[in-house]
């Protein structure tokens, strides 16, 4: 029982460790080299499938009537879009500035939308999954508008018009957001027994996220190990992504605290869709900047593990006081 309790308490760090180690073990066995194309295709299928299942379970637990904007949404959107616009203009007017790639990495970390799994963590921490879900939809729309408008100032892409870029981003994220939501509505109103069965699965979404996290960390380690970026730039990008992670979690909590929703706002601004950030780096900027998403994935998951640890300690203390 103590081993099971240990695994439950440290699910995220264990998932991160297994994800990283699985990459090194797998690539370290030459006999497995012919299976790499199959494994790559399998991961490409599993990641969205796990995210779809997590979101479906989470949306089943959210009352659709609670999905409405609130005041902290506006402040967080302004911070993300405003910081991204400021850095884009800075890079445009100072094209030869030293360390420009670090500025572009920061741009990527700031405009990156909220992780689709953030609602799962927010629920575990005691926040509002409904408000988090609403912000996830709003920030994806904001990114879909801001990236095509401002990235051409830094990296012009004549072949990518605003409409094409907008459609690319929406096509990348919105099917994975809206399809689980529509399915949850169908189940809620047409299949109430099945909906109630889903509601009884208390921690299933969290455990699915742990598996998805292990896969994501494995992909992150692969992108960092295969990167041809010099070590000095990798360290710089790692530091920039860490600074962006700290700033956004802190700012989100400060803003959310003013509206008595620090947990939800902190997760909304700090927990990022890092797979999407890596894709944005490759598609709209340069492969160099894309590793910022990989490093950010490590930082925000370490902080999530710490938050969940603190939450468990607080719940244990309250249980002890009550008894």
- What is the model's pLDDT at position 292? 86
In sequence order, what are the residues at sequence separation of 6 or more whose Cβ sits closer than 8 angstroms to the Cβ of residue 42? none
List, for residues 204-228, the tens digit of each pLDDT value.
777 887 888 888 788 778 877 777 7
Helix (H, G, I), strand (E, B) or coil at 116: coil
Res 10 pLDDT > 60: yes
- What is the model's pLDDT at position 319? 67
Mean per-residue pLDDT over the chain, rounded = 84
Q: Which two tokens stand for residue 130?
A: 């409904």
Q: Among positive and negative, which fits the CA dihedral 33, 224, 303, 208? A: negative
In sequence order, what are the residues at sequence separation of 6 or more whose Cβ sits closer than 8 angstroms to the Cβ of residue 106? 87, 240, 243, 244, 292
Q: Which two tokens stand for residue 244?
A: 């962006």
Q: Read off the pTM.
A: 0.83
Query: Could you tell me if 133 and 65 are in contact, meaning their C-beta atoms sit under 8 angstroms apart?
Result: no
Confidence bin at 75 (pLDDT 50/70/90): very high
List, for residues 20-68, the tens digit of each pLDDT value.
888 888 888 888 888 888 888 888 888 788 888 888 888 888 778 888 8
CA gap 252, 303 in Å, rounded: 14
CA gap 301, 217 in Å, rounded: 10
Question: Which residue has 């992150």 as its token pair?
Answer: 220
pLDDT, average across residues 286-297: 82
pLDDT, average across residues 87-112: 87
pLDDT, greater one: 79 or 115: 79
Helix (H, G, I), strand (E, B) or coil at 134: helix
CA gap 315, 237 in Å, rounded: 37
Q: In whole angstroms, what separates CA 284 from the centre of its chain? A: 19
Helix (H, G, I), strand (E, B) or coil at 63: coil
Q: Among positive and negative, which fits the CA dihedral 54, 122, 18, 219? A: positive
- What is the model's pLDDT at position 266? 95
Question: Which residue has 């699965």 as its token pair?
Answer: 201
- Count of other CB atoms within 10 angstroms of residue 72: 23
CA gap 288, 321 in Å, rounded: 52
Please give the helix or strand (H or E) that residue 24 lies within, else none: helix 11-27
pLDDT, greater one: 57 or 160: 57
Burial zone of 37 (CB within 10 Å; 0-12 exposed, 13-18 middle, 19+ buried):
exposed
CA 265, 270, 275, 280: dihedral to nearest 10 degrees? Answer: 100
CA gap 177, 183 in Å, rounded: 11
List, for residues 118-153, the tens digit of each pLDDT value.
888 888 888 888 899 899 889 988 888 888 888 888
């Amino acid at each position: 029982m103590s081993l099971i309790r240990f695994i439950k308490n440290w699910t995220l760090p264990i998932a991160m460790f297994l994800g990283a180690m699985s990459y090194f073990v797998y690539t370290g066995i030459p006999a497995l080299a012919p299976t790499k194309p199959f494994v790559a295709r399998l991961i490409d299928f599993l990641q969205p499938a796990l995210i779809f299942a997590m979101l479906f379970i989470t949306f089943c637990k959210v009352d659709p009537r609670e999905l409405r904007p609130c005041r902290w949404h506006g402040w967080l959107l302004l911070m993300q879009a405003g910081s991204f616009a400021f850095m884009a203009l800075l890079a445009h007017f100072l094209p030869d500035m030293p360390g420009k790639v670090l500025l572009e990495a920061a741009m990527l970390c700031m405009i990156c939308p909220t992780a689709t799994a953030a609602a799962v963590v927010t629920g575990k921490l005691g926040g509002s999954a409904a408000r988090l879900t609403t912000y996830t939809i709003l920030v994806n729309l904001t990114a879909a508008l801001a990236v095509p408008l401002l990235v051409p100032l830094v990296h012009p892409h004549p072949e990518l018009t605003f409409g094409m870029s907008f459609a690319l981003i929406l096509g990348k994220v919105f099917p994975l957001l809206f399809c689980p939501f529509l399915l949850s509505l169908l189940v809620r109103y047409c299949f109430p027994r099945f909906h109630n069965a889903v509601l009884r699965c208390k921690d299933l979404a969290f455990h699915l996220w742990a598996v998805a996290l292990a896969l994501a960390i494995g992909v992150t380690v692969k992108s960092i190990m295969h990167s041809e970026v010099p070590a000095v730039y990798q360290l710089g990008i790692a530091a920039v992504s860490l600074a962006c992670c700290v700033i956004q979690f802190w700012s989100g909590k400060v803003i959310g605290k003013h509206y008595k929703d620090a947990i939800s706002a902190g997760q909304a601004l700090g927990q990022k869709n890092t797979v999407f950030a890596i894709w944005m780096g490759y598609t709209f900027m340069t492969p160099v900047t894309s590793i910022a998403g990989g490093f950010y994935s490590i930082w925000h998951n370490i902080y999530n593990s710490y938050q969940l640890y603190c939450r468990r300690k607080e719940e244990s203390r309250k249980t002890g006081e009550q008894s």
